[in-house]
Amino acid sequence: MKRMSKYKIGYTTGVFDMFHIGHLNILRRAKEQCDYLIVGVSTDELVQKNKNKTPVIPLEQRMEIVKAIRYVDEVVIQPDKDKFGAWQKYKFDKMFVGSDWQGTPEWTEFEKQFAQSGVEIVYLPHTDGISSTMLTEKLKK
């Protein structure tokens, strides 16, 4: 008899500007580890504040692109970097983030916060050799 597993909700966030294979890899790997995947897309204002640049593709269009990916069950706006606030709203079991964030002070703090809530933070392998910043630089040349 097959044992029923608890329904797992996953959550990940990103800018998803100029969607590329690295974005797809993160979404695919996240979906492999949960039943329902919620993806937060950063607002233009959040990107401007945190990365000091404006996305090439506006928020609404980035959300539509992410929504069209078969691994994604729900797309939400990420207005800030308050991951714990997002958990209070969406009640996810797992949070997925690229391995390039592992060990950073910010994510070490998130790990402490989420440990008390039973949320597992999963670091997914970063796809080397591609990023929206690299694509922007290529376009400028």
Report whether 30 contacts 37 (CB < 8 A): yes
Identify the band that residue 2 occupies on the pLDDT scale cut at 50, 70 and 90: very low
Provide the pLDDT for residue 141. Answer: 73
Q: What is the pLDDT of residues 24-51, one digit of tens each?
A: 999 999 999 999 999 999 999 999 998 8
The structural domains of the chain, with segments of one domain joined by +, span 9-140
Look-up of token digits 């500007």: 17
Q: Which CATH class is domain 9-140?
A: alpha beta
Q: Is the pLDDT of residue 116 over 50?
A: yes
Provide φ and ψ at 98, rounded to 5°.
Answer: -65, 145
> In angstroms, what is the C-alpha Rg of the chain?
15
| Mean pLDDT value of segment 61-90 | 96
| Mean pLDDT value of segment 43-64 | 92
| Alpha carbon distance 39, 53 (integer Å) | 21
Q: Kindly report the pTM of this predicted structure.
A: 0.86
Provide φ and ψ at 91, rounded to 5°.
Answer: 50, 50
Residues marked as catalytic: 51, 53
